[in-house]
Amino acid sequence: MPLKGRAPEAGDLIEIDRGFYKHWSVYVGDDYIVHITGLTGMPDWGFVSSSNGKAIVKKQLLRCVVGNCNYRVNNKYDGIRQVYPVSEIIVRANKEVGKTRTYHVFAKNCEHFANEIRYNEARSDQANAAVAVIMAIGILILFL
């Protein structure tokens, strides 16, 4: 589990590189993260399709979720969004643990969740990029 960049601190967003997509979580300290994953307890592969659009918020050891993947701290909106105080980020994240949430890869995914906890704005750049690609392909198909 190679770390890229600085070590995480409480309140940081962790971006885990799964190859095809990035899995996002909130670091709450003591080597633990809070994130959303499939109801089955299997690793999140980005779609949670076997869970009928549902996911659960879990608190797990970072190393257990990361496995052999690369990961890094990525608080990418800190310069343009208001950041909750660290103590509030941790309270907000821990309050969600154990809750079942609606999951949709383009509208309510792990990146939306993590950004909502840190910035109070559910946003996913990777989902927006995927939608843009799908729309571009659709337009190309229409004109071919």
- Answer yes or no: are the C-beta atoms of 14 and 22 closer than 8 Å: no
Reply yes or no on whether 23 is catalytic. yes
Catalytic residue among 64, 69, 104, 110: 110
Buried b (16+ CB within 10 A) or exposed e, 9-22: eebbbbbbebeebb
Please give the positions annotated as active site.
23, 35, 110
